[in-house]
Amino acid sequence: MDAINPEANRCDVTPSAALLGVGAFAGARSTSTGQASRSGPTPPTPSSAAGSAPATRAPVPLAPPEAQPPDLKLPEAVARKAGWAVVGLGQLALEEVMPAFRECQLSRPVALVSGHPEKARKVADAYGLEPQNIYAYDNFDQLAANPAVDVVYIILPNSLHADYTVRALKAGKHVLCEKPMAVTVAECEQMIAAAQQANRKLMIAYRLHYEPLNRKVMELCAEKALGPIKTFSSSNGQNVTAPNIRLSATLGGGPVGDIGIYSINAARYCTGEEPVEVTAVAHQPEDDPRFREVPESVAFTLRFPSGVLAQCDCSFGAAPSRRYRVHCAEGFIDMDPAFDYRGLRLSLKQGDEKAELLIGQVNHFAAEMDHFSDCVLNGKDPRTPGEEGLADMRVIAAIEEAARTGRAVRVAG
């Protein structure tokens, strides 16, 4: 597969000049390392003129003349890092969020909230947190008295998002809440109102808005780099084994809110529009006890004002598939995988030409947390505020109604 922008640590790919430019694409060829080969004129070999003595040249130094290269970029001290309290020490928190703090520039963990004291103590020891900064759920509200905590990160079951977000905001803390934002539209609206009343910032953890490849897709779609968008398709599936909170209706589980939301949000940020109508079909097998309370699979179609149709499916009983394709008038944009924590791949196709865009990747959670810390420390508005979560929840509510009734449902605005 040919490669655009072989410098994998850069994000300045210009598809309109590379993929779409005449002759520009043909010069890029993938190598075994995934880098594009470059060709050009061979420099002439120095030679002496007839009858003249060979030119004498000073030897090229093989090492920097100084102790270090003159263009070496040195790290700069940060005036202050935002202090974070992580609420909920489940798999996501322990495997992704806590390790990501080591890559953050503006964020540091200062407090933990958990219902498992021994686990919390081990995590605190591993990250150098003081024992007095470990909280349980019954004294959660005492975070208000801890000046070291600027931000509370809610990583709890979906059914608890609204309650703990509102309580954290009332405690005077800014909040990053995992998605889905809540389990009802009304809860989302309550959370937004609480942030406004407390004069604190509320951000929803849409990590893909903070990583370079999905950001590049947003840019390509906005530019209509391959012409107007016509359709969008996406699949997000995994095989969930019990016990798992994703399988509990009481805890706000189910495939649409947990993984279907990635396809919904991607369709929205690719089109730049809000869907106006949805249809949906759900399958809940009677012979699989995992799905006593939630569907195994849901397929849904979103209709956008421009006429774009987004066809998506999500499943808790399928082999992993986490991808989307943006079908345009002149070609298509592929993200596969699109929703994983790492190893994302972006490619374009126009006519017979296909190219993979090699763009440096980042730790999604570190980028996301540092963005919010920057907002908190410097008075900026977050890229994915509560309103972003509310927009997705309106779509999810319409999908659930459409699957239940078998009718097309208008999305509330």
13 found inside a domain: no
Hey, what amino acid is at 308?
V
pLDDT at 33: 36
Q: Are 235 and 113 part of one and the same domain?
A: no
- Of 135, 164, 179, 210, which is the active-site residue? 179
pLDDT at 69: 72
pLDDT confidence of 59, banded at 50, 70, 90? confident
pLDDT confidence of 251, banded at 50, 70, 90? very high
Q: Are 389 and 253 part of one and the same domain?
A: yes
pLDDT at 301: 98
Domain range spanning residue 240?
Answer: 212-361+383-410
189 found inside a domain: yes
Residues 6+ apart with CB under 8 A from 227: 328, 329, 330, 331
Q: Across residues 169-197, what is the average pLDDT?
A: 98
Q: Are 182 and 292 part of one and the same domain?
A: no
Q: Are 234 and 196 part of one and the same domain?
A: no
Q: Which of 184, 207, 230 is the last residue in one of the domains?
A: 207
141: its two tokens: 């509200």
Tell me the pTM: 0.84
Cα 264 to chain centroid, rounded: 13
Burial class (CB in 10 A: 0-12, 13-18, 19+), 243: exposed
43 found inside a domain: no
Q: Are 141 and 230 part of one and the same domain?
A: no
Q: Are 107 and 122 part of one and the same domain?
A: yes
Q: Which of 207, 226, 258 is the last residue in one of the domains?
A: 207
Q: Are 245 and 330 part of one and the same domain?
A: yes
Domain count within the chain: 2
pLDDT digits (tens, 9 = 90+) for 8-41: 333 444 444 445 443 333 333 333 333 443 334 4
pLDDT at 37: 38
Q: Which DSSP state fits 382?
A: P
User: Any idea what the CATH number is for the domain that residue 145 is in?
Assistant: 3.40.50.720
Q: Cβ(373)–Cβ(104) under 8 Å?
A: yes
Name which residue leads in pLDDT, 271 or 15: 271
Percentage of residues of the chain with pLDDT beyond 90: 80
Average pLDDT, the chain: 89
Q: Are 249 and 392 part of one and the same domain?
A: yes
Q: Are 269 and 310 part of one and the same domain?
A: yes
pLDDT at 407: 98
Does the annotation count 179 as an active-site position?
yes
311 found inside a domain: yes
Which residue in 217, 223, 246, 412 sits closest to 334, CA to CA?
A: 217
Secondary structure class of 386 (helix, strand, coil): helix
pLDDT at 26: 32
Q: Across residues 292-306, what is the average pLDDT?
A: 98
pLDDT digits (tens, 9 = 90+) for 141-163: 999 999 999 999 999 999 999 99
pLDDT digits (tens, 9 = 90+) for 355-385: 999 999 999 999 999 999 999 999 999 999 9
Q: Are 108 and 217 part of one and the same domain?
A: no
Q: Which of 158, 189, 207 is the last residue in one of the domains?
A: 207
309 found inside a domain: yes
372 found inside a domain: no
- Of 210, 262, 269, 324, which is the active-site residue? 262
Q: Are 203 and 223 part of one and the same domain?
A: no
CA distances from residue 351 to 25, 29, 328, 354, 411 in whole angstroms, order as listed: 12, 17, 12, 8, 36
On the question of a cis peptide bond just before residue 243, with omega within 30 degrees of 0, the verdict is yes
Q: Across residues 337-348, what is the average pLDDT?
A: 98
